Structure 1
Amino acid sequence: MNTARNVPELFGSMVFNETVMKERLPKDVYRKLKKTMREGTAIDADVAAVVATAMKDWALSKGATHYTHWFQPLNGISAEKHDSFISPTDDGGVMMEFSGKELIKGEPDASSFPSGGLRATFEARGYTAWDPTSYAFVKDGSLYIPTAFCSYTGEILDKKTPLLRSMEAISAQACRVLKLFGKEVRHVTTTVGPEQEYFLIDKRDYAKRKDLIFTGRTLFGAKPPKGQEMEDHYFGSIRPRVAAFMQELDEELWKLGIFSKTKHNEVAPCQHEMAPVFTTANIATDHNQLTMEVMKRVAQKHNFICLLHEKPFEGVNGSGKHNNWSLSTDTGENLLEPGRTPSENAQFLLFLTAVIKAVDEYQDLLRISVASAGNDHRLGANEAPPAIVSMFIGDELQAILDAIESDADYTDMTKTKMDLGVSALPDIPKDTTDRNRTSPFAFTGNKFEFRMLGSAINIACPNIMINTAVAEELRLFADELESAADFESALHELIKREIKAHKRIIFNGNGYDDAWITEAEKRGLLNLKSTAEALPHYTDEKNIRLFATHGVYTRIEMESREEALLEEYYKTLHIEALTMADMAREEILPACTTFQNELAQTARNKKEVGVSNTMEVDLLRKVCGLTEELYRKCGELSDAIAQAPQADAKRLSNYYHDMVIPIMNAVRQPADDLELLVGKKYWPFPTYSDILFYV
């Protein structure tokens, strides 16, 4: 098969998409289903029954024998329980059946998923509900039906449901604002394009390291002679083995209707990136979850392991996920498109102001939305945006906002062309502003790029935060402008007032500069450096009020999510600490002892024959001293783990952050020093030089 010629045929071939629906559904059923997908209206049982039969017949034609309600619990990954289509017949055989009831509702066990205290262990019943706004698909012999997940008593236990609620909230408020500009829009959609960074390492190296197996990152590892200093990996030539993986990854993603567009080498050795075309936030979230799953599966076929941890290796860049967010109407208008003359585009300026105000007032929520033990290693490490939330808007928009604030005339910045000084090369149109890779929340032409996300995160949470916060500001703007006697003057005064009130969040400079930390503090911006510090702000009263106002979360749902996130944080650190102690005690210390014994024997032998043994004795002293230090520190770590208090999730999170992490850092130092002294044949697992520079 020539893949290049058949991409249009390949794309979406395993998806129950609009083309398939048009072919297999009666026209009236298709229209009702499309209305549900477009407007979020409820679907009736009769329509569901017809859709279920068509979906089953199509899935059987694609080789499916089972179906699963695919959902996204609070642990951030996806979950699935598979049931076959078979139904017994009177003659002892089977037939393939799938009802509308089975399509609409499933009943997985809800007791073993994180619930943040919403459900007791003995309260097992849970429900999944079909999400008709996201396409079903066939994968690995099963029909996958995207669903929401809730408990028997109705508490929301997933990430999809609040995302859908937030999308409805921002749509309702954006439509109100657009009506003030004379536009009758039925629906506004948040669109997202999440770029995905990842590492590929050799499967054999992975299998030899407990830290990678149990935690997804290396807990030990000395800096190799070469890292990313030469800047030769970024956008470099892709190795054939990696290229073969990328080609198969594209094909598998295209089959599932995922808009895989760009692939390239990233900054760190073994690091790469895949970027999709944007789609609606709901579908983008489903697609990104699928992308991570498919990456891992395809990698294994090529004898790789795909690492999605935010910081797998110390000393080289970690991996993030850039969340490109925008707003589009059902008429095809991008509400964050400035147009040729943004200074005269009042509608754009109002929506821009709403985003600026939202990011300033809810900077804590944006920080919380990307908080994790893994991402704490990455944020602010000169490879990712700092933990301080700020916005980059560029020179042109900054000049426009400055002019509005001061009631001054604005002179349009003219676009120029760059003459490269070579007659054969064309003049290149120069943008009116640069890009800022150090900004957590940067305007990039007709969208905002939220750059703080870690590579393993489920993108639902950040988009829930953005959607709801912007919905709130649009609600307040609509309330004010709907009652204004003079819309034009009220609009101007509103934009001017809010820009002046929230300009502190705008920073167009270098986010890596230490001076920015001082400046941000002067501005009153939050600097929530760790997950343990950030998460307790989740249930601040202003945040509870925000989500309750828009029906995205109830108070109890927010409290449960805070609890679940804190549990995930300290449990992650607990596992890392246990793994570190285990590796040091069972692998590194015995290896060092063996090396010392042979070194000591060599020193004795050389002394007996009258040859200088200064080198062996000196090296032996160093190794013995570091080994003793490692042994002591390892004991301190084991004691700290054993002494963890029987306390609530918040206290445990603080304990692991304040007490355990410093000891883990202390354990690592002598171990990494020993790696550079102990002979390679004695070292018990692959080093960074082995892992990052495989053939």
Structure 2
Amino acid sequence: MPKTHSTHEAPRSTTGLPPALANINGNVLDDSILKKLVDPDVYYEFARCRATGLPMDRYSRDELAKSIRGWAQSKGCIGFSHWFSPMRGPVHGEKLETFVGVDFETDALVVDLTGRDLFQTETDGSSFPNGGLRKTHEAAAYIGWDTGSPPFVYRQTLYIPSAFVSWNGEALDQKTPLLRADLAVNEQSVRLLHHLGDTDVREVVCNVGWEQEFFLVDREAYLARPDLVATGRTLLGATPMRGQEQSTNYFSKLSPRVNRYIAEAREKMWELGISIHCTHNEVAPAQHEISPIFNLANLAADTNVLAMDVLRDLAFDHALVALFHEKPFAGINGNGKHNNWGLNTDKGDNLFVPGETEHENRRFVAFVAALLRAVNKHGDLLRCGVSTAGNDHRLGAQEAPPAIITLHLGRMLERHLKDAAAGGPLTGYGTQVKEIPISAPVADIRANLEDRNRTAPFPWCGNRFEFRAVGGNQHIAFPLTMVNAALADSVKHMSEEIESGTDPDQVIRETIGDNEGVLFSGDGYSDELYEFAAKSGLVHLKSSPEAYRELTSPKNVRLFRELGIFNEREVAARRRVLEEAYATEIQIEARTLLAMLRTQILPVAIDDASGSSASGFTSTLFDEKRELVQRLLNETEALAAAFDGFPDGESEAAAYAHESVKPAMESARAVADRLEALVDARLWPLPSCSELVHGHQ
């Protein structure tokens, strides 16, 4: 019998769960609920539609719609909306429609949702970013239910996750390319697995767990900052007096106000089926992170956008604002969105786990070799996938992975692969166990075999790879499409080599040997990386406009076409949309900064400097003020001239924004931020960055 303390009482049996846990999945229509709502024959038809893409028969479709409407009405809904993702970042589209119809025999209003209305709707495609795929006189576009992503109820509306395509069937959204890339990974991975002996595998899926970083600021202070309102980041503002020194904010206790907000947001996300598992303070003050358990890549992309919506909406209720921009404040860390990416088979095997048998170990090495080739041959695509005006502030800035895409495996696995390429055994890695003894009463810790490298853009984490370069304000579907496309091409290449008669083990060895130059386990924040990249001939695309140009290279157009992800028109359109978005964002920033300098900063700075001169006192402080005011006047004029020089054409405008307008903005900011430290604080017209990151805590 186990010994107990004399005051020990046996735990009392309890029933029920706390409300926050009792309502999990309450507002998402997953399969477990749907099976209870519809006749088995209707569900069978639905499952067949989901597996094949072939339409349901009309009767089953209408019965399904009737049952879904009833479920939604029980949740208080009076209408529905297809929920889709145009090419404009993580800002979904919705077309709100009601359950009200007309009985045309009696002209009476009726409550209804037809099967046709459930599965699709039509809209104007020319008014969304489309890169020339749609025009005003050729504008038809269609929104179709993605049956692999369950409907959900939010704000008393039934939302139906959907794809968005043109009348020609070309992708106008973020979801459709990801679905195609997922299919390519599935088909090509199953093909290679059969060559490796896993002939019973029928499906390989891509799983993703995202980590969403964001800042919270007080809403009143936010509204007093024209730059935050217009662009999502501070275009002016000295570094907070207390920033992230000594990491005092990292994993510290949430402030009471933030804790109430996070708790409510988490509960709302649980109701929507978003498996938020971890929340914590991030490195910078006022910065936080939430992350769910991994999910299918398509569902992960949907739940990330929905989670961002929840964070925005609830922030309003708490008189806060959530900032997702990759660099809201100078001098402290910005927002990333790490994507923990992996592959699993329908037999329950994780392809990025070394396993316990020689067969599992060989399979693991084969798929790591495929990813090695993917990063080496298609690093330009991975870089393009994380290229935005906001993310350019982070990449390579000593707070995020560099713009050079390498693969980090850890020193032991890297050595094992290089030895295998040279003729050594493919198997044998991962059989070791690493335990870290501490001291009783703490049990020994079972650790990963490899150390963690936070400077790497794509490190192995023991059972997955972490794409760390994704920006906090990105829609993750596009970066994942690029990763999946690169991997599918490399797996396809290995299968073709095997099918041409080469021994599978030799193909694995040659794939490693031909691509091992992309392996880097050093410090990605150091000059060592740039020396390594130059020596290895790695692609270094320093800016987003450079990366966009590579999207339409012959190599990449061929890759997308062969895998069925994009046709040539779609690739060209995607590039134009990206370039236009980049140039437009910089234009808005420059226009906003000019207005702030002309109407807020300079008038105050001139008055303050004039008052100092008229005071009768003398000081180098007054001299410095006058000098900085004159410099700021000059910098403002230079920025205005740069802004007026924007050329026509998406590529030209994006390049000009990076090469001419951004430097002019940075120069003006540097002077204005120095003035902020000298001008009478009672006169300064904007809440300071210190007030923004500390004022609501």
The interval holding the TM-score normalised by the smaller chain is over 0.9
The one of 559, 563, 573 aligned to 1:546: 559
Q: Distance in 1 between matches of 2:179 and 2:188?
A: 15
CA contact (8 A) 1:594 1:682 kept: no
1:351 corresponds to 2:374: no
Q: What residue is the counterpart of 1:47 in the other structure? A: 60
Q: Aligned AA for 1:633?
A: E
Distance 1:188 1:36, change over 3 A: farther
Q: What residue is the counterpart of 2:693 in the other structure? A: 692
Q: Distance in 1 between matches of 2:28 and 2:99?
A: 18
Q: Distance in 1 between matches of 2:402 and 2:59?
A: 52
Secondary structure, counterpart of 2:171 in structure 1: coil
1:88 corresponds to 2:88: no
Q: What residue is the counterpart of 2:650 in the other structure? A: 649
1:417 corresponds to 2:435: yes
Q: What residue is the counterpart of 1:250 in the other structure? A: 266
Distance 1:341 1:248, change over 3 A: same
1:128 corresponds to 2:143: yes
Query: How far apart are residue 3 of structure 1 and its match?
Result: 10
Distance 1:545 1:474, change over 3 A: same
Query: How far apart are residue 40 of structure 1 and its match?
Result: 5.3
Query: How far apart are residue 693 of structure 1 and its match?
Result: 1.3
Query: How far apart are residue 555 of structure 1 and its match?
Result: 0.3
Q: What residue is the counterpart of 2:299 in the other structure? A: 283
CA contact (8 A) 2:418 2:516 kept: no
Q: TM-score scaled to structure 2, two decimals? A: 0.94
Query: How far apart are residue 347 of structure 1 and its match?
Result: 1.4
Q: Aligned AA for 1:663?
A: A
The one of 509, 533, 540 aligned to 1:527: 540
CA contact (8 A) 2:494 2:508 kept: no
Contiguous gaps of at least 5 residues in structure 2: 1-14
Q: Distance in 2 between matches of 1:182 and 1:662?
A: 55
Query: How far apart are residue 319 of structure 1 and its match?
Result: 0.7
Q: Distance in 2 between matches of 1:596 and 1:655?
A: 35
Query: How far apart are residue 124 of structure 1 and its match?
Result: 3.1
Q: Distance in 1 between matches of 2:589 and 2:540?
A: 25
Q: 1:356-409 CA distances to partner (integer Å, 9 max, x unpaired)?
A: 111111000000001000000000111100000001111332232122122236
Q: What residue is the counterpart of 2:194 in the other structure? A: 179
Alignment of 1:52-131 (within 5 A): 52-76=65-89, 77-89=91-103, 93-131=108-146
Q: 1:70-100 CA distances to partner (integer Å, 9 max, x unpaired)?
A: 1111112210010111013466652210001
1:621 corresponds to 2:623: yes
Query: How far apart are residue 7 of structure 1 and its match?
Result: 4.6
Alignment of 1:597-616 (within 5 A): 597-603=610-616, 613-615=617-619
1:292 corresponds to 2:292: no
Query: How far apart are residue 149 of structure 1 and its match?
Result: 0.8
CA contact (8 A) 1:167 1:189 kept: yes
Q: What residue is the counterpart of 2:476 in the other structure? A: 459
Query: How far apart are residue 190 of structure 1 and its match?
Result: 0.7
Q: Distance in 2 between matches of 1:627 and 1:248?
A: 47
Q: Aligned AA for 1:562?
A: R
Q: Distance in 1 between matches of 2:622 and 2:273?
A: 60
Q: Distance in 1 between matches of 2:327 and 2:412?
A: 35
The one of 401, 406, 413 aligned to 1:390: 406
Distance 1:134 1:666, change over 3 A: same
1:498 corresponds to 2:515: no
Secondary structure, counterpart of 2:144 in structure 1: strand
Alignment of 1:130-145 (within 5 A): 130-145=145-160
Q: Aligned AA for 1:131?
A: D
Query: How far apart are residue 417 of structure 1 and its match?
Result: 2.4
CA contact (8 A) 2:78 2:156 kept: yes
Q: 1:188-218 CA distances to partner (integer Å, 9 max, x unpaired)?
A: 1111111100000111110110000000000
Q: Distance in 2 between matches of 1:642 and 1:148?
A: 38
The one of 507, 523, 541 aligned to 1:510: 523
1:165 corresponds to 2:180: yes
Q: Aligned AA for 1:290?
A: L
Q: Aligned AA for 2:131?
A: G
1:659 corresponds to 2:660: yes
CA contact (8 A) 2:632 2:672 kept: yes
Q: Aligned AA for 2:606?
A: T
Secondary structure, counterpart of 2:168 in structure 1: coil
Q: Aligned AA for 2:436?
A: M
Query: How far apart are residue 336 of structure 1 and its match?
Result: 1.6
Q: 1:639-689 CA distances to partner (integer Å, 9 max, x unpaired)?
A: 2111222x2111111111111111111111211111000010000001111
Distance 1:558 1:667, change over 3 A: same
CA contact (8 A) 2:239 2:329 kept: no
Q: 1:13-55 CA distances to partner (integer Å, 9 max, x unpaired)?
A: 1111112211101112213323444565654444322211111
- The worse-fitting range, judged by mean Cα deviation, of 199-208 and 117-126 is 117-126
1:225 corresponds to 2:238: no
Query: How far apart are residue 341 of structure 1 and its match?
Result: 5.7
Q: What residue is the counterpart of 1:444 in the other structure? A: 461
Contiguous gaps of at least 5 residues in structure 1: 604-612
Secondary structure, counterpart of 1:443 in structure 2: coil
1:156 corresponds to 2:158: no
Q: Aligned AA for 1:16?
A: L
Query: How far apart are residue 411 of structure 1 and its match?
Result: 6.5
Q: What residue is the counterpart of 1:608 in the other structure? A: none
Secondary structure, counterpart of 1:345 in structure 2: helix
Query: How far apart are residue 428 of structure 1 and its match?
Result: 1.6
Q: What residue is the counterpart of 2:636 in the other structure? A: 634
Query: How far apart are residue 266 of structure 1 and its match?
Result: 0.4
1:399 corresponds to 2:415: yes
Q: What residue is the counterpart of 1:29 in the other structure? A: 42
Query: How far apart are residue 533 of structure 1 and its match?
Result: 1.3
The one of 353, 358, 383 aligned to 1:337: 353
CA contact (8 A) 1:308 1:455 kept: yes
CA contact (8 A) 2:336 2:468 kept: yes
Q: Distance in 2 between matches of 1:407 and 1:258?
A: 46
Q: Aligned AA for 2:676?
A: E
Q: Aligned AA for 1:415?
A: V
Q: Distance in 1 between matches of 2:575 and 2:191?
A: 32
Alignment of 1:258-337 (within 5 A): 258-337=274-353
Distance 1:38 1:325, change over 3 A: farther
CA contact (8 A) 2:422 2:513 kept: no
Q: Aligned AA for 2:338?
A: H
- The worse-fitting range, judged by mean Cα deviation, of 245-254 and 117-126 is 117-126
Distance 1:59 1:592, change over 3 A: same
Q: Distance in 2 between matches of 1:649 and 1:342?
A: 52
The one of 596, 602, 612 aligned to 2:609: 596
CA contact (8 A) 2:408 2:458 kept: yes
Q: 1:78-129 CA distances to partner (integer Å, 9 max, x unpaired)?
A: 1001011101346665221000111121012212100111122343321111
Q: Distance in 1 between matches of 2:79 and 2:392?
A: 40
Q: What residue is the counterpart of 1:429 in the other structure? A: 446
Secondary structure, counterpart of 1:322 in structure 2: strand
